[in-house]
Structure 1
Amino acid sequence: MNDTAPDPRRQTLLASLAGARPSAPDWFRQALADVPQRGFTEAAGARIETLAWGERGKPGLLFLHGNGAHADWWSFIAPFFLREYRCVALSWSGMGGSDRRERYSFDIFVREAMTVAEATGLFDGPEKPVFIGHSFGGFPIIEAAARHGERLGGAVIIDTPIFSPERRRERREKGAAWEMRPHKVYPTLQAALQRFRLVPPQPCENLYIADHIARTSLTQVATEEGSGWTWRFDPYLWRDYEWEDPAPALSSPQCPLAVLLGARSTLMQDEDIARMRGLLPPGTPVIEIPEAYHHVPIDQPLALVAVLRTLLAGWNSASASGVKTPRNKGLA
């Protein structure tokens, strides 16, 4: 959601609102009324921003956001689960209100997820916690399921782009990687909101969600003129980052795994999805969310809640009855 050089292909969603808040349905306002406990957890030498709902001692859910996003992407989703679960969302280092690092790595993100889950009580409940991640947030989940899956009750990845090494290289060559340049500072909040966009670009009907996310994506900073507004994520986060092939971990989760896809998402091509299906353990559910593009929590939030509830109920039922679920490279 960073502003870059003008490009007609990049759709700004909120320009027509001129800084005004769009009307929102009751369910959305009620979800935001369940205000989370905000705090920080130290992980690998950095303070990691956390939002928590529900009581310690309940089964745990950890919600993990995508590239350039932050924990508040889940602030209208997690409250739907707080009666039955202890819910926590984090902001990855370099994003949201978390500390920035000199260097980032895949291992560090996995450590952040596990450390936050421990520190916020997600392992204190009667059942193993479930990790849920959108887009980039699914990559550390895939690896956590392979490395630490015996400690997890399940893992859900939502439109996480599983590309072949060739496709990743092709996207970099076409400039699909995030541009690394200082963020622009806008003189007013209204001016900044009007530049908010989604990456990759897509239509967005739920402007009340886009507006909420945009406002929580910005921070006020001091300038020579007084103050201004800019995006909260580190623009140089991916400068030295080495992307890893998720295939080995995707093929060997040590806990139940589910894959959710936006039915209208253009991020993965048909051959990418076919390759991903071939990597998954037999029996792994792959579920398309109708009318959702890549940003499923924005496009179809209530459908996403319904699918997650169904998955969790099925895994909990199987665990309670002693039925084993698909894992590793076959049926355990």
Structure 2
Amino acid sequence: MAHLAGEPPPAPAWFRDAVAAAPEIARVAVKGAGIEAFAWGERGRPGVMLLHGNGAHAGWWRFIAPFLAGTHRVAALSWSGMGGSDWRNAYDLDTFADEIEAVAEETGLFEAGAPVMVGHSFGCFPMLTEAGREARRWRGAVIVDPPIFSPERRTGRRREDGRFAHHRIYPTLEAALARFRFAPMQPCEPLYIADLIARESLREVEGGWSWRFDPSLWARLALPDRAAMVRQARCPLALVTGDRSDLMRPADAAYVQGLLPPGSPRIDLPEAWHHVMVDQPLAFVAALRALLAAWPNA
């Protein structure tokens, strides 16, 4: 976005209207950390919990959640160590799952019965942890382009954990925005979405601007066997993938689909890369609406 020189790019009306639907904002205490939580829609409607990926934040759902809020109570959180949530001295998936439960309680997602979780990328792992221990509380869990790889791809694959020793400080907001990149790297046609996400990924610090996520998080977090996490889930599962994703390649998607219970839905979004809500936001909304309307069976 360097060519924009810090100026927001033009955006279509649907996006401006969605972002203008400001969420309720709360801060929920979980094991000594304040967790940032957003909510849309009326209490008492069926609940949907939106869970973002690594290094992201609840704002990644600002332009998606309002499309679901006409029929559902929708919530999103920023994981501890990310977004506007507090950082921790150590991280684990059970604590992240505790954050899901606490935010769901605080925002009223359980008031109309069992809600549905939607987890993108890294967000799938706390979601699957929660699905493995609290089956009766959740109607279903939607796995969106997860970093779960086929055995063939895992062989010889080096650990790609995104660790940083520290964050660089940029002298101006313009300089920081120019440095924003998706991980994994991918094209991005809707720069208005990248601009929104990038602005909310930054904070002003002494000497300039820096990223809001904890650069040491991955040095303090270990993941169990990823396939086992899928198998141990105790609520219905669905899989959504981007058909151009370089993270979840066709063999990986087929492998994950094979881990799901027979008959589990699979939706592959055309022309979407890994960050499906950025690449094809309205198609992603349509996919979620379809799942929420017809799945899982009562």
- State the TM-score bracket (shorter-chain normalisation): over 0.9
CA contact (8 A) 2:150 2:251 kept: no
Q: Secondary structure at the match of 2:239?
A: strand
Which sections of structure 1, spanning at least 5 residues, go unmatched?
Answer: 1-13, 320-332
Instruction: State the match for 1:132 in structure 2.
Output: 118
Equivalent residue in structure 1 for 2:136, among 150, 163, 168: 150
Q: Secondary structure at the match of 1:205?
A: coil
What's the CA shift for 1:168?
5.4
Q: Is 2:121 aligned against 1:141? A: no
CA contact (8 A) 1:289 1:303 kept: yes
Residues 33 and 294 of structure 1: is their aligned pair in 2 closer, same or farther, counting only changes over 3 Å?
A: same
1:42-81 aligned at under 5 Å gives the runs 42-81=29-68
| Structure showing greater Rg | 1
What's the CA shift for 1:59?
1.1
Q: Secondary structure at the match of 2:295?
A: helix
1:45-194 aligned at under 5 Å gives the runs 45-125=32-112, 127-163=113-149, 167=153, 170-173=156-159, 176-194=160-178
Instruction: State the match for 2:288 in structure 1.
Output: 308
CA contact (8 A) 2:239 2:257 kept: no
What's the CA shift for 1:170?
4.0
CA contact (8 A) 1:153 1:256 kept: yes
What's the CA shift for 1:44?
1.9
What TM-score do the two structures reach when normalised by structure 1? 0.86
Q: Is 2:15 aligned against 1:25? A: no
Give the distance between the partners of 1:210 and 1:16, measured in 2 at CA: 13
Instruction: State the match for 2:191 in structure 1.
Output: 207
What TM-score do the two structures reach when normalised by structure 2? 0.96
Q: Secondary structure at the match of 1:273?
A: helix
Give the distance between the partners of 1:164 and 1:262, measured in 2 at CA: 16
> Which is worse superposed, 65-74 or 115-124?
115-124
What's the CA shift for 1:249?
3.0
Give the distance between the partners of 2:39 and 2:58, measured in 1 at CA: 10
Give the distance between the partners of 1:165 and 1:218, measured in 2 at CA: 37
Give the distance between the partners of 1:108 and 1:252, measured in 2 at CA: 18
Give the distance between the partners of 2:248 and 2:15, measured in 1 at CA: 29
One-letter identity of the residue aligned with 2:251? E
Give the distance between the partners of 2:186 and 2:50, measured in 1 at CA: 23
What's the CA shift for 1:89?
0.6
Equivalent residue in structure 2 for 1:40, among 27, 31, 36: 27
Q: Secondary structure at the match of 1:261?
A: strand
Instruction: State the match for 1:258 in structure 2.
Output: 238
CA contact (8 A) 2:46 2:115 kept: yes
CA contact (8 A) 1:154 1:255 kept: yes
What's the CA shift for 1:222?
1.9
What's the CA shift for 1:166?
7.8
CA contact (8 A) 1:220 1:229 kept: yes
What percent identity do the matched residue pairs reach?
56
Deviations 1:60-83 (A, max 9, x none): 111100000000000000011112
Q: Secondary structure at the match of 2:224?
A: coil
Give the distance between the partners of 2:155 and 2:204, measured in 1 at CA: 36
Residues 110 and 245 of structure 1: is their aligned pair in 2 closer, same or farther, counting only changes over 3 Å?
A: same
**How many positions carry a matched residue from both structures?**
298
Instruction: State the match for 2:215 in structure 1.
Output: 235
Deviations 1:71-112 (A, max 9, x none): 000000001111211111100000000000000011111111
Give the distance between the partners of 1:165 and 1:186, measured in 2 at CA: 40
Which sections of structure 2, spanning at least 5 residues, go unmatched?
Answer: none
Give the distance between the partners of 1:74 and 1:100, measured in 2 at CA: 21
